[in-house]
Structure formats: structure tokens, C-alpha cells
């Protein structure tokens, strides 16, 4: 098990290839990117990590957590691995962490792909997380996890992958970071707001939104693109919130096209 700065990480691809850091969403697990690793590691030194407080990383968190803390962890990982500058692909929480890093230390960022992210939390997003937190608080961890696919995947995809989702549940229960950690992470995402601060990043960021995202509506991605001064925007017509899982080939193609252009 590789660890640096209290963070579990894994590397794929040639060690002398350009570094590409993968930062996942609320769950925080490096394994979220498993469907994409093979394609991305053909061109990059891919580093995927577990967010602090989750998975195999240090589980200790301060009383209050911010998205800036997420960005600081990426920088700490880069410092520990001797990486001066890197590309980042961030999904939702990982995407806003990339934006925070770009504002904090722009010299450390090459290009950033924000997948189903936002400049400011959308009302629908907040409503969804209020419902998810109520499940966690009043019905428990298993109910929270059983409801999770509804927010991540298209309905038809869930229907055809139900057995796989059911098989994953025991592992998710065993690795769940705890209600307190989840509350802190969601609170950090809810107050994140970088409106009016992103114009200088226009050419360095690709915004990828999914039209049928049940959790973060595509209008949030469109708004982020506008905040970035018209940054490149790609809209997937299908795929849900976890579009890199449901339509891997399409996702990999567009992301690689941007990163290698």
C-alpha cells in the first residue's frame, strides 16, 4: 500500500509520462476511476488517491472541512511525489477541489477537467444532499448507500446493473467513512463558491456536464463554463452523474482529446 502525506495513492502508466491526478467525488475512493485507468495510463503517469477521511487514507478530519482542504491535500500529494505541475481530472467534489487548487497555486496546474462540477452549489444539488443526509441520519448507513445509485446513474443503467450494485454494497458498508465525515464533506461542498474568480483559467479548464445528471444538473456545468469566461464545455446527453463509469469510451475520448491537444 502506497501512502504519502497521509493519503493512500496508486500509480499507473510510465513513470516518465506527464503526471495526471484523478480526484473522485463524495465517496473519495481511487477505485472510482477503475474503468478509465487503462485508457488514461497509455498516455500519462496516472495517480489516483483516496481523499483524506475516506478509504485507505488517514481518517482523521478537523471539526470543519473546506474545499480548500481538498486542494491542499492534492498539493501535499504532489509535493510528496516530487511533482511540480500536473493535469487533474476531478469528478464533482474532486472537480471543485481542482478549481480551488487552480486559484490557490495556478503554477502547479497544467490542465483541469471538471466533471459534473459547479462554481456555486445549485439549489437542486442542495435539495438532493438534504434528502441523502436525512436518510443517513434517520435511516442509517445502509439506506444511505442503497439510495446512492439513484443519484449516480441513469435509471436504465441501474436496471441492468442491479446485481453488480448489490454485490458492491457489503464492501461499501465495510469501508464507509462514518456519518460525521460524510456530513463534513457535504457541508464543504454546499458552501463552495468561486463565482467571479475564475476568468483567468478559461483556456486551462474543460467543463464536462451530463444532461441527465440526477445530482448536479447540467445547468451548473454551463454556469461554471460562463464563470470561466467561456471555457470549453462538453455535454454528454446520457450517462448520469457517474458518466465516466456508464459511458467510459465516450468519456475517455473527450477527456484525452482535451488533455493531449
Q: pTM above 0.95?
A: yes
How many structural domains are present in the chain? 1
Contact 120, 193 (CB under 8 A): yes
Residue 14, helix vs strand vs coil: coil
At 127-182, the pLDDT tens digits run 999 999 999 999 999 999 999 999 999 999 999 999 999 999 999 999 999 999 99
CA distance 171 to 164: 12
The pLDDT score that the predictor gives to residue 48 is 98
CA distance 60 to 252: 33
**CATH number for the domain that contains residue 250:** 3.40.50.1820
CA distance 188 to 202: 24
- Average per-residue pLDDT in the chain? 97
Whole domain around residue 110: which residue ranges?
A: 2-260
CA distance 109 to 223: 22
At 63-86, the pLDDT tens digits run 999 999 999 999 999 999 999 999
Amino acid at each position: 500500500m502506497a501512502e504519502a502525506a497521509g493519503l493512500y495513492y496508486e500509480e499507473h502508466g510510465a513513470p516518465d509520462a506527464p503526471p495526471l491526478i484523478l480526484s473522485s467525488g463524495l465517496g473519495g475512493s481511487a477505485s472510482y476511476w477503475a474503468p478509465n485507468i487503462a485508457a488514461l495510463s497509455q498516455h500519462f503517469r496516472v495517480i489516483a488517491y483516496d481523499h483524506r477521511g475516506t478509504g485507505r487514507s488517514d481518517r482523521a478530519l478537523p471539526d470543519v472541512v473546506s474545499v480548500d482542504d481538498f486542494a491542499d491535500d492534492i498539493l501535499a500529494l504532489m509535493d510528496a511525489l516530487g511533482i511540480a505541475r500536473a493535469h487533474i481530472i476531478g469528478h464533482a467534489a474532486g472537480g471543485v477541489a481542482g478549481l480551488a487548487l487552480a486559484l490557490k497555486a495556478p503554477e502547479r496546474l497544467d490542465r483541469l477537467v471538471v466533471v459534473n462540477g459547479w462554481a456555486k452549489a445549485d439549489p437542486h444539488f442542495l435539495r438532493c444532499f438534504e434528502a441523502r443526509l436525512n436518510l443517513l441520519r434517520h435511516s442509517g448507513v445502509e439506506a444511505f448507500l442503497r439510495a446512492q445509485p439513484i443519484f449516480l446513474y441513469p435509471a436504465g443503467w441501474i436496471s441492468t446493473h442491479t446485481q453488480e450494485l448489490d454485490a458492491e454494497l457489503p464492501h461499501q458498508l465495510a469501508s464507509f467513512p462514518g456519518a460525521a465525515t460524510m456530513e463534513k464533506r457535504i457541508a464543504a461542498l454546499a458552501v463552495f463558491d468561486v463565482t467571479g474568480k475564475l476568468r483567468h483559467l478559461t483556456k486551462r479548464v474543460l467543463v464536462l456536464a451530463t444532461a441527465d445528471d440526477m445530482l448536479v444538473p447540467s445547468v451548473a456545468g454551463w454556469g461554471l463554463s460562463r464563470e470561466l469566461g467561456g471555457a470549453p464545455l462538453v455535454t454528454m446527453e446520457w450517462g448520469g452523474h457517474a458518466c465516466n463509469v456508464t459511458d467510459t469510451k465516450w468519456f475517455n475520448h473527450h477527456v484525452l482529446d482535451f488533455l493531449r491537444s
